């Protein structure tokens, strides 16, 4: 495949979702490539994963900024410079400001460890177990200014077992997150490529029509 959609991945920790995306991007026909990984935590294990895969990785420590807006505006500049078209949040433990989200419309994806709209926010597995749900899972969605409420790209469900703890449930959900993220990014990137192709055809046909009229 010739053209690939450039993607940046934002992380704060272990980066197993990042690893799933790195692995998916190895396939020659996968429509996306990771051009940058950014972590707001210096000790995030995901930084090592990125560097081992030969991907540029940067640490932007949010504690060095006096406000959320300042951090987000620096982040936005770094992302723009990477020329990424999509931003994938993969365990990025920061809320993004409205102005950041509006700068990247329909371009930010997030994986959340519950079947949204149930259990937005944190401590999802604890709350799912407390509520006694029989299925939990994960959701890949576009990010909007409202927390964990953007349009859903895809979901995967897992059964909740009688002896589940938050940890065992989290582990079972995480396996599905990895598959869902790789698949969802593929769908979104392919859609962008298709739209670009359609735009190009439209442009070409406009040019040829105007040549005929000339
Ligand atoms: C995942 O469960 C993700 O859904 C949540 O944080 C966890 C990050 O895991 N937002 P990892 O860093 O990708 O391993």
Catalytic residue, from 112, 125, 141, 178: name it.
112
Specify the residue with its C-alpha closest to ligand 1, atom 10: 91
pLDDT in tens, 162-211: 999 999 999 999 999 999 999 999 999 999 999 988 887 888 877 777 76
Q: What is the pTM of this model?
A: 0.93
Annotated active-site residue 112? The verdict is yes
Q: Is the Cβ atom of 111 under 6 angstroms away from ligand 1? A: yes
Q: Closest Cα to atom 7, ligand 1: which residue?
A: 91
Closest by CA position to 181, among listed 120, 117, 91, 97: 91
With beta carbons less than 8 A apart as the criterion, state whether 47 and 75 touch: no
What span, in angstroms and rounded, lies between the C-alpha atoms of 181 and 37? Answer: 16
28 within 8 A of 6, measured Cβ to Cβ? no
Nearest Cα to 90, choosing from 192, 172, 16, 153? 16
């Amino acid at each position: 495949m010739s053209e690939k959609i450039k993607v940046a991945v934002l992380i704060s920790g272990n980066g197993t979702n990042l690893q799933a995306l790195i692995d998916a991007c190895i396939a020659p026909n996968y429509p996306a490539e990771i051009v940058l990984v950014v972590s707001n935590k210096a000790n995030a294990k995901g930084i090592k994963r990125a560097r081992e895969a030969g991907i540029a990785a940067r640490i932007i420590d949010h504690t060095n900024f006096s406000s959320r807006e300042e951090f987000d505006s620096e982040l936005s500049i770094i992302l723009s410079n990477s020329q990424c078209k999509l931003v994938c949040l993969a365990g990025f433990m920061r809320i993004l400001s409205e102005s950041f989200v509006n700068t990247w419309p329909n371009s930010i994806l997030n994986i959340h460890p519950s079947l949204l709209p149930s259990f937005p926010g944190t401590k999802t597995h604890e709350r799912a177990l407390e509520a006694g749900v029989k299925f939990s899972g994960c959701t890949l969605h576009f990010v909007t200014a409202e927390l964990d409420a953007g349009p859903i790209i895809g979901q995967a469900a897992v059964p909740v077992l009688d002896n589940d703890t938050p940890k065992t449930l989290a582990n079972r959900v995480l396996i599905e997150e990895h598959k869902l993220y790789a698949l969802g990014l593929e769908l979104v990137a392919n859609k962008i490529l298709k739209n670009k192709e359609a735009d190009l055809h439209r442009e070409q046909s406009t040019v040829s029509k105007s040549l005929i009229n000339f």
